[in-house]
Amino acid sequence: MFMEYKGRYPIFDPSGVCTYPVVQRRNKVTLEDLICPEAIRAQDYSVCESVLGAIQNVAEAVQNARAGNKPVMALVGAHAIKNGLGPILIDLVGRGVITLIAGNGATAIHDFELALIGQTSEDVPKALQEGQFGMAREFSYINTALLVGDQHQLGYGESLGRMICDESFCREVSGKIENGKKTIRFQHPQASLLAACYRENIPCTVHAGIGTDVIDQHASFDGRAKGGCSGRDFLIFVEQVAQLRQGGVVLNIGSAVTGPEVLLKAVSMAANVGRAPAGLVTADFDLRPHDPEQMTDEQTPGYYFRDQKSIVTRIPKAFDGRGYYLCGDQKQTLPLLYRYILGSGKENAEKPWNPNRSNPS
C-alpha cells in the first residue's frame, strides 16, 4: 500500500510499477574496481605540487585532530563510492581516524548495492529508455528498513547499517517484505561503509531529499519513514558538529550540494546555542577549477559552487579556521591523503598509525 493522500490533486499510483531482480541488471562497477588500501602503498600518483602540499597539510591536521581526540568528519558524495574509494574510508573508520561519515541518499544506495551483490552503478541511459532505471526489486529492502527504523525511532544510516550487520533487525525487515517470504542476504558486507560505521559505533548519517533517489520510485516508498530517519540523522550530525568547539577536520569528498548545505546549517545551529566550531580545518576534494575571487561575486559562476563557497571559504573564515581546495581526480587525491595520514608518503606507508580510538566528547 503506497502513501495515502486526501488532498485535491491527482496522485500517481506506484503500485503498477514493474520491478525486476537486481542480479539481472547491467552494472558498471564491481568489487574488482574498488581501491584496496594495501595497493595504495605501491601505487604511483600524479598531482601538481600545490595540491600535494595541501594534501600533506590536511593529513597533518587529521593526525593532530585525532591525537587530540577531536572529530574528523567526512562528507561523502555518491561518486566517491562509485569511484571505488569506499575501502579507503572503511579502513580509516576502522582505524579510528574518521569519527563520522555523512552522505546523501545515492551514497547509501551505492553502498547498499555493493554489500548486497558486490556491484553498483547501473547503465542509466539504456535502463531509462526501457523504463527500468531504478526499478530493481531489492530497493524495497531499503524502504522497508527505513519503515522499521522509523518505528524504532532510528536514523537512516543506522537503520541500513543495522540491516546489514544485525541478524535480528534484518529478520524483522525481511518479515515485512513480500509477506515475510523473502530472506535478505548480503553477499559482501565487508564492502559496505554503512556496515563498517555500524560495527565501529561511528555515526553514518544520510541526508536525503524526497524524489531524489531511485527508492522513491517504488510502491514500498514511505516519505514519512524516509524523512523521519533522515531527520534524526541531521540532528545526530549537528551534535557531532557541535563537538568541533576545540577544533577538528571536515573532509568534503565529492559532495557538491548536500554535504556543504547540511554542514552550513549544522554550523549555524551549533553557533546559535554557543557551541560554534573554532580553528576548524576543512578540505574540499573535487575536479572543478577554484578561483577564490569568485566566492563573493554573484556575477561569476564560481559563486554558485556551494562546496567551494561554503566548505573552503565561508565556514572556516567565520570561525577562525583554514580551508583547502584539492583539485583533481579523487582516485589520485584521496589515496595520497590516506598515505600521508598513515605515514609520510610512500616510503613510510607500511607503518600503521595508532590514533586515539575513543570517540570525541
Residue 304 has pLDDT above 50, yes or no: yes
Any idea what DSSP says for residue 97? Answer: -
Count Cα neighbours of 328 within 13 Å in the Cβ-side half-sphere: 22
- Closest among 332, 244, 250, 328 to 285, alpha carbons compared: 328
Per-residue pLDDT, 96 = 97
Write the burial class of residue 239 (CB in 10 Å: 0-12 exposed, 13-18 middle, 19+ buried): middle
Residue 161 half-sphere exposure toward CB, CA atoms < 13 A: 23
Mean pLDDT of 213-229: 97
Neighbours of 14 (CB within 10 A): 14
Strands 100-103 and 27-30: unpaired
Identify the pLDDT of residue 136.
94
pLDDT score of 104 more than 80? yes
Lowest mean per-residue pLDDT among 5-14, 145-154, 260-269, 341-350: 341-350
| Average pLDDT of the segment spanning 194-220 | 97
Residues 175, 24: Cα–Cα separation, whole Å: 24
> DSSP letters along 257-278, please?
SHHHHHHHHHHHHHHHTT----
- Cα dist from 319 to 169, 247, 249, 271, 324, whole Å: 41, 10, 13, 10, 15
- pLDDT (mean) for 330-337: 96
For residue 124, what is its C-alpha cell? 542509466
Residue type (1 letter), 349: A
The pLDDT of 60-74, averaged and rounded, is: 98
How would you list the strands of the sheet with 322-327, edge to edge? Answer: 204-206, 100-103, 72-76, 248-253, 280-286, 322-327
SS3 73: strand
Half-sphere exposure of 146 (CA within 13 A, CB side): 27
pLDDT value of residue 1: 56
Q: How confident is the model at residue 358 (pLDDT cuts 50, 70, 90)?
A: very low
**Residue 180 pLDDT class (50, 70, 90 cuts):** low
CATH superfamily of the 31-347 domain:
putative lor/sdh protein like domains (3.40.50.10690)
Between the alpha carbon of residue 329 and those of residues 1, 80, 86, 333, the distances in Å are: 44, 10, 15, 6
The pLDDT tens digits of the residues spanning 125-134 come to 888 988 999 9
Give the mean pLDDT of the chain: 92
Q: What is the mean pLDDT of residues 97-119?
A: 98
Domain boundaries, given as residue ranges, for the chain: 31-347
Residue 348 has pLDDT above 60, yes or no: no
The terminus-to-terminus CA distance of the chain in angstroms comes to: 43
Q: How sure is the predictor about 283, in pLDDT bands with cuts at 50, 70 and 90?
A: very high
Q: How far apart are CA 343 and CA 339, in angstroms?
A: 6
Centre a 10 Å sphere on the Cβ of residue 134 and count the other Cβ atoms it contains.
Answer: 18
